[in-house]
Amino acid sequence: MGEFRLSADFAVRPGARVAVIGPSGSGKSTLLSLVAGFLMPDQGVVAWDGRDLGGVAPGKRPVSILFQDQNLFPHLSVAQNVGLGVRPDLRLSAEQTDRVSQAIERVGLSGMEDRRPSALSGGQQSRVALARVLLRARPVLLLDEPFGALGPALKIEMLNLLSEIARESGATVLMVTHDPEDARFFAPETVVVEGGVAHAPTATGPLLDDPPPGLRAYLG
Ligand SMILES: Nc1ncnc2c1ncn2[C@@H]1O[C@H](COP(=O)(O)OP(=O)(O)OP(=O)(O)O)[C@@H](O)[C@H]1O
């Protein structure tokens, strides 16, 4: 079995919104896993705010993660799933319970607090996941094809909501996507992962208008 290697040497500005694009198997999820701490680099460091995160466990990193499956717990209500963003044991104070309600209202799910995820549409489930991310309030938000299962109109709606939440919280966002239009819509900058390299972020519009050969082949 061949060994997969990925190299990366770049910095992202705090508050930046960055798309991560590249062919299947190129290492996009690997890049996110390195930032999240699920994988450790063989060489070099992953740093945030000047601090090497090498010794910091995933749960203690300044990072929230949203995957396509949204990580919702089927046996918990909307309010409980969102509450996990505040306290994993769900022992919430009155003030914390208020914050959960506010986050649910912010993503447009008021009145659905007691429903289970299975009683929600795909878009509504995405909203629950976003509300939880909102409450976690970590400075870095990693998204791996978060809205890949949604139709085009719904996806734009969720990207808009994500943009607003990122702007309000000042979060730095890295979003893996297979859809170049997502990158154009959401992210002023894009990281291309290709040929074993995660390239430094460049301006999304010009990149997609005139892609380098490796990316051109992928975009078709
Ligand atoms: N657990 C693993 N063990 C061994 N190899 C792995 C493992 N996970 C991923 N890989 C390999 O690492 C490489 C990069 O995978 P990665 O998931 O980062 O790609 P990706 O760009 O996110 O792909 P996709 O767009 O298909 O999700 C691939 O060649 C993959 O086969």
Centroid of ligand 1 to alpha carbon of 142 (angstroms): 17
Centroid of ligand 1 to alpha carbon of 67 (angstroms): 15
Q: Which atom of ligand 1 is nearest to the CA of 30?
A: 18
Centroid of ligand 1 to alpha carbon of 50 (angstroms): 28
Q: For residue 147, give the nearest of 85, 73, 67 by alpha carbon.
A: 67
Closest CA to ligand 1's atom 8:
30
Q: Which residues, given as ranges, of the chain have pLDDT below 50?
A: none
**Protein residues whose CB sits closer than 6 Å to any atom of ligand 1:** 4, 22, 24-30
> What is the ipTM for the molecules in this complex?
0.92
Written as six digits, the tokens of 128 are 């629950």
Query: What are the angstrom distances between the C-alpha of 20 and each of 34, 64, 79, 120?
Result: 14, 16, 31, 29
Q: Which atom of ligand 1 is nearest to the CA of 27?
A: 18
